[in-house]
Amino acid sequence: MIIDHNNLANFETWIFFKWVFKTFVAVMLITNTFNITMAVFDVAQNVITASAGIISGNTAIDASALENMNDTLMAMDLGPLLGVYLQSFIVQVTMSALASLSL
């Protein structure tokens, strides 16, 4: 019974092509894992370098900045206000999580 089905007559050739393709993709990924990782870090470094020029401006908050922010928030509709609230909430939760990790 085993010998009857062991002559590869019942198999499709697509199985072998699929296996060769999967093996090729796996070998290429494993071979280039270091290059892929370094590319991710290089992109992150470029993003940080590009954002350094933006952050280097004046970040001081005074009374006029708070009044401008208050006026801007008063002029917003409900949808954008909910978006600002959600973003502020996510930043607060993230900062709390990071603060608890450093303890």
* CA within 13 Å, CB half, 91: 6
CA distance 42 to 66: 37
Q: What is the mean pLDDT of each run of 10 residues along the chain (103 residues)?
A: 60 84 97 96 92 73 90 93 96 94 73
Predicted pLDDT of residue 58: 72
Predicted pLDDT of residue 7: 63
Predicted pLDDT of residue 5: 61
Predicted pLDDT of residue 103: 64
Predicted pLDDT of residue 15: 84
Helical (H) or strand (E) element with 72: helix 63-75
Predicted pLDDT of residue 92: 96
* CA within 13 Å, CB half, 52: 7
Predicted pLDDT of residue 3: 58
Tokens representing residue 33 in the block:
């894992």
CA distance 67 to 73: 10
Tokens representing residue 32 in the block:
């280039």
CA distance 67 to 46: 35
